[in-house]
């Protein structure tokens, strides 16, 4: 048997192989994960709920099934965390808010159903910011630096993976909330094409922008998770009727002959720090060395993404919370409530104009991909490394109009939410202070496989995914 401390450092693929060789058991994986949770939670606060006995019972069942020859696939017996805005039958789902305190759903979100069908062990519900748009209390901290912002709103999922207290995790992404914590925590996070993964049973932030997706420590693991949770769902009106491929089938195909675009005016604008810029340029050079063609191009419509998406998000969020604020407004964090109420002041004509602008934006992005024959657009995931927690909610004197250090986070990630196209964040290295840097690839609709192929090719040339946060050595 593999020793317990080493188990939590295994990738999903490695753990799955060890299970099938008989080198370990799902119970051992789950016990080791629960031990890591006990060790790190008092400091990190990655989990809202950890149903330990239920997880161990699921692990025992997984071991029995595997022993009997019933193999549900690569997630069978693997401990997975689920963001606390996904309904879980019989497990608290409080969405980081007193408004949903004690809420115990009587059904599972489709993504949770699919995890169970794949044999995964739900190890716990990971913390999220209040309704995916407010703060987090108690504050979740990243093991890379306890004083730094861990990302939002899938903060718990990102931190749990970085801390090795889950092998994979589910996040949601309306404006970067899978990719931002992936970048900050040196992880792989996939926001698949809109409709690729069902959002049924997930508390919405903005229904026409919300995506559900996987976070992992390695690219292949991410492809395995997406394969397990993707697929058409009649319960979700926005679910796409498209086949689910084996996302790992061509992952080792390399990048030879692929055209990868960079829009420097938008994605490498002056707000990008020198170290993030250098890391992104290094990724591009490496991909070029591997045979990709890096194409400089122009798309002025990108500058409109933030205003269009913000209008849509605020109106749709206000619509969902209108009754709740009326009935339970006193239970919201004041900052969250104020943000949601602003959406009620936006005119219907402005919302409709934003929807029409989104269609033009989508058409422009897809025309760019077709005209330039692009496999992907590359960029930093976020323009800066993780800022200090103490600075996140207060304006900085060197920033105009009362902006905070995280306001620029959405600059790079919003375009993929607005267009609905897939986008992945993967590790690009570290700053001189040891803070992770991520790069982003945005791809063609329903072509997540090519993004995995590119990011896997780069991953194989580096050891970023092998490095562990300093906290884990303490």
DSSP helix/strand/coil, 249: coil
Q: Which of 83, 114, 125, 191 is catalytic?
A: 83
Among 11, 97, 136, 153, the one annotated catalytic: 153
Mark whether 13 is an active-site residue.
no
Residue pair 374/427 in contact by the 8 Å Cβ criterion: no
Whether 153 is a known active-site residue: answer yes
Do 148 and 435 touch, CB atoms closer than 8 A? yes
Match 């395995």 to its residue by tokens.
224
Return d(Cα 454, Cα 284) in angstroms, integer. 11
User: Cβ neighbours of residue 280 under 8 Å, at least 6 residues apart?
Assistant: 267, 268, 272, 378, 379, 380, 428, 437, 439
Nearest to 286 by CA among 456, 133, 430: 456
* Residue tagged active-site, from 26, 32, 165, 177: 177
Q: Is residue 186 among the annotated active site residues? A: no
Between β-strands 188-191 and 211-216, what pairing exists: parallel, antiparallel or unpaired? antiparallel
Report the interhelical angle of 52-67 vs 26-44 (nearest 10°): 160
Phi-psi region of 198 (alpha: psi -120 to 50; beta: other; left: phi over 0): beta
User: What is the C-alpha to C-alpha distance for residues 264 and 453, in angstroms, rounded to an integer?
Assistant: 23
**Closest alpha carbon to 247 in 219, 227, 221:** 227
Residue 343 in 3-state DSSP? helix
Q: How far is CA 470 from CA 184, 186, 320, 325, 473, in A?
A: 14, 13, 41, 42, 6
Per the CB < 8 A criterion, the answer to whether 164 and 186 are in contact is: no
**CA separation for the pair 154, 323 (Å, rounded):** 25
Return the active site residues. Answer: 83, 153, 177
């Amino acid at each position: 048997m593999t020793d317990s401390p080493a188990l939590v450092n295994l990738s999903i693929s490695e753990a799955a192989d060890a299970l099938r060789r008989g080198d370990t058991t799902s119970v051992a994986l789950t016990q080791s994960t629960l031990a890591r949770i006990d060790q790190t939670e008092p400091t990190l606060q990655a989990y809202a709920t950890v149903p330990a006995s239920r997880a161990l019972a699921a692990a025992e069942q997984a071991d029995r099934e595997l022993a009997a020859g019933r193999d549900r696939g690569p997630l069978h017996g693997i401990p997975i965390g689920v963001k606390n805005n996904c309904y879980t039958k019989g497990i608290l789902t409080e969405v980081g808010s007193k408004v949903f305190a004690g809420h115990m759903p009587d059904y599972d979100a489709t993504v949770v159903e699919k995890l169970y069908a794949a044999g995964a062990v739900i190890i716990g519900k990971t913390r999220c910011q209040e309704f995916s748009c407010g703060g987090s209390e108690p504050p979740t901290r990243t093991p890379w630096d306890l004083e730094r912002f861990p990302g939002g709103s899938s903060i718990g999922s990102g931190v749990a993976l970085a801390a090795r207290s889950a092998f994979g995790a589910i996040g949601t992404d309306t404006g970067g909330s899978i990719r931002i914590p992936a970048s900050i925590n040196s992880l792989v996070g996939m926001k698949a094409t809109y409709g690729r993964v069902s959002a049924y049973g997930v508390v919405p932030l903005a229904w026409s922008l919300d995506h559900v997706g996987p976070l992992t420590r390695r690219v292949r693991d991410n492809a395995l998770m997406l394969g397990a949770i993707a697929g058409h769902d009649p319960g979700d009106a926005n679910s796409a009727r498209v086949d689910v491929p084996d996302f790992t089938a061509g992952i080792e195909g390399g990048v030879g002959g692929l055209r990868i675009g960079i829009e420097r005016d938008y994605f490498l604008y002056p707000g990008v720090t020198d170290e993030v810029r250098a890391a992104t340029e290094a990724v591009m050079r490496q991909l070029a060395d591997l045979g990709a063609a890096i194409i400089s191009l122009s798309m002025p419509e990108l500058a409109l993404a933030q205003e269009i998406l913000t209008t849509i998000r605020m109106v749709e969020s206000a619509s969902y919370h209108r009754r709740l604020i009326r009935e339970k407004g006193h239970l919201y964090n004041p900052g969250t409530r104020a943000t949601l109420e602003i959406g009620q002041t936006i005119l219907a004509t402005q919302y409709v104009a934003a929807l029409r602008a989104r269609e033009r934006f989508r058409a422009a992005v897809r025309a760019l991909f077709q005209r330039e024959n692009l496999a992907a657009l590359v960029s930093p995931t976020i323009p800066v490394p993780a800022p200090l927690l103490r600075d996140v909610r207060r304006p900085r004197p060197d920033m105009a109009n009362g902006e905070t250090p995280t306001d620029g986070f959405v600059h790079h990630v919003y375009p993929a939410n607005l267009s609905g196209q897939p986008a992945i964040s993967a590790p690009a290295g570290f700053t001189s202070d040891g803070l992770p840097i991520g790069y982003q690839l945005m791809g063609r609709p329903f072509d997540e496989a090519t993004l995995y192929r590119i990011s896997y090719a780069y991953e194989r040339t580096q050891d970023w995914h092998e490095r562990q946060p300093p906290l884990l050595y303490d």
